[in-house]
Structure 1
Amino acid sequence: MSYTRYTIAALAILAGGSAPALAQDTPDSIIVNTSGGENGPMLREAYFNDFEAVTGVRILDSSPADLGRLRVMVESGNVEYTVTEVESEDAGRAIELGLLEPIDDTIVDRSKFPPETINPYLYPISSYSTIIGYSTEAFPEGGPTNWAEFWDVEAFPGLRAMRNHPIDNLEAALLADGVEPADLYPLDLDRAFAKLDEIYPHVATWWTTGAQQAQLLIDGEVVATTGWNSRFYAAVRNGAPIKMEYGGGVLKAAAYAIPKGAPNAELGQQLFAIMAKPENQAKYALAFGLSGPDLDHVNYVPDEVREMLPLHPKNAARQVWMDEAWWLENGEALNERWTAWMLSHN
């Protein structure tokens, strides 16, 4: 199915921007590359169906997101994707390597997005946070609500779980040690690892997958754990005895981008314009507990869900945004130091 310049112009007006110039021969379909899994059907419900209805262009989805494959495509001049997901830990590298096209803000309305999510090359499809989850069976009167309390095993006794990775753990350790959020970066590494030394004996599991997070609480293996808010959200919505706490949560934005030299890149900009609509973001938020970047999206979800989202104003005010530039510069060395630190406790 083809579409006309008139249709694209109408779409641009709806998105609050102006229409881009399109080639005469427009495609029947474009490829959007994602991480796959259960994410795929909800991307279609929240965004892809709307895009197809307005443009008449079908979206074919592929997976997974892979920086190495993206680099090969761009450097060979044989780019298959019009849009691709970029893993948050790869986003800075993709920009450094010149693999991405800039976002066109005359088409994509990002005026209400948090400033921390604005990047010339990345569309922040959603925000997620590493937070505290605890068992309400272990703490029926209330468990740890911030990192200092997570570290306090006398006031909140029981085994913990944490991710086997330096990201988020170093921030949590410093916040637990009394560092003010505004003073968090650059991270004081010696201080962070010293604070992690304190909690290490109380960590029963160093998790490596998202599936472990809520399950460790459900199975009673630990009473509190770090984890991604979306994993706790899904468990709570299914009736699990888990409470989510956003105090000191470390926020990040999941990114999509248009590869350098992508076919029909103008259609990628139009997809982002569809994604920027808060009512569409609300569908995605309801499914996964991930906040959309337009803060108005919280007004389109049910009351019982609204306050569970990471960018609900009450939650956002209690969290910090990860400094991705700092981690890009220091991440490789810190992965090595983390491995050495873990080995030193074995």
Structure 2
Amino acid sequence: MLREAYFNDFEATTGVKIVDSSPADFGRLRAMVESGNVEYTVTEVESEDAWRAIEMNLLEPIDDKIVDRSKFPPQTLNPYLYPISTYSTVIGYSTEAFPEGGPTNWQEFWDVKAFPGPRSMRNHPIDNLEAALLADGVAPEELYPLDLDRAFAKLDEIYPHVTVWWTTGAQQAQQLIDGEAVMTTGWNSRLYAAIRKGAPIKMEFGGGVMKAAAYAIPRGAPHAEWGQKFFATMAKPENQGKYALAFGLSGPDPDHVNFVPEDVRLLLPLHPDNLKKQIWMDQEWWLKNGQSVTERWTEWMLSHN
């Protein structure tokens, strides 16, 4: 789908062919840059690796004279990273279990009296801690730094009602279809795919936790200018619309929602009606605190077994 959304346009416009392969992991990226033997013009970088790569000066800066990022949300802007897509952890629920409508925010997800039935959540602290604090009444603008004691106390309340702690994206929609749970936390792209296939599921963006996936140009890449022009191609909202339609992932230009069918628009994280309901994950906070918080999460899970 990357080819249909972006590669074909770039090749037709520039006459330059794109050869795609699996992305470089952090160790390989660092080795390429430090040896001066950079094989990639553009590579995907995981969020945690991206911050390390920036700190170690492994990436070329984005040239805003070539790449128009003027409409991108400020939370996605970084001098060295191009935000290929925005995705969100949201609430999914079974419309068979709640034909009149299910939970629309995390406070309602926690409300087992108004919305009874088994829940499902990811077996990982990321997103769950934010959801717990929002459920406990913390204002979005006051979310970070995360109050861990308060978050885990709120998670203690929901734990008895969580029957599945999912670990893979494939589980999210399937457990709703199979009736293992009546609601779940889930990645919007996974729920989107099921909804588009007709599954009896609805997705709610209230309190959704958004984050951006990133591409970058390794420092010293021999064809870095073509990388900048590739990002310029990706920055076109009409191309982002093709990508969004295929995967349910929002491109960074909000105008991309105008290039998908009307019935798809409200399923995308950056649709204006959804954007205003959500929060952006503080990826820098998680980079600094992720390891210790994950250790605490493991201990918390063990304490309930």
CA drift at 1:318: 0.2
- Equivalent residue in structure 1 for 2:130, among 136, 153, 171: 171
Q: 1:206 to 1:65 in 2, by over 3 A?
A: farther
Matched, 1:303 2:296: no
Aligned to 1:190: 149
Residues 322-331 or 174-183, more deviating: 322-331
Q: Is the 1:286–1:301 Cα contact (8 Å) retained in structure 2?
A: yes
8 Å Cα contact 1:65-1:87 kept in structure 2: no
Unaligned runs of 5+ in 2: none
Shift of 1:77: 2.2
Per the alignment, residue 13 of structure 1 pairs with none
Runs (4 or more) in structure 1 with deviation over 6 Å come to none
User: Is it true that 1:90 corresponds to 2:49 in the alignment?
Assistant: yes
Further displaced range: 60-69 or 131-140: 60-69
Could you tell me how far apart the structure 2 residues matched to 1:104 and 1:321 are?
A: 24
Residue 115 of structure 2: aligned partner: 156
Q: Which residue is 1:238 aligned to?
A: 197
Partner-residue secondary structure (3-state), 1:58: coil
1:59 counterpart SS class = coil
What are structure 1's unaligned runs of at least 5 residues? 1-41
* Equivalent residue number for residue 281 of structure 1: 240
Q: CA deviation at 1:64?
A: 4.3
Give yes or no for the alignment of 1:76 onto 2:35: yes
* 1:1-346 to 2 correspondences below 5 Å: 42-64=1-23, 66-346=25-305
* CA contact 1:93–1:328 (8 Å) conserved in 2: no
Say what the alpha-carbon RMSD is for the aligned residues: 1.0
Give the direction of change, closer, same or farther, for the CA distance of 1:115–1:337 in structure 2 (3 Å limit). same
Distance in 2 (alpha carbons) for counterparts of 1:64 and 1:225: 31
In structure 2, how many angstroms separate the alpha carbons of the residues matched to 1:75 and 1:341? 41
Deviation at 1:97, TM superposition (A): 2.4
More relative contact order in 1 or in 2 (CA 8 Å, sep 6+)? 2
Contact in 1 for aligned 2:23/2:43 (Cα 8 Å) = no
Deviation of residue 263 (structure 1)?
A: 2.1
User: The residue matched to 1:226 in structure 2 has which SS?
Assistant: strand
Identity %: 82
Normalised to the residue count of structure 1, the TM-score between the two structures is: 0.86
Q: Which one has the largest radius of gyration? A: 1
> How many Å separate the matches in 2 of 1:45 and 1:164?
34
The alignment partner of 1:60 has SS state of: coil
For residue 89 of structure 1, report the CA deviation from its aligned partner: 3.5
Q: What residue identity is the alignment partner of 1:128?
A: Y
The total of aligned residue pairs comes to: 305
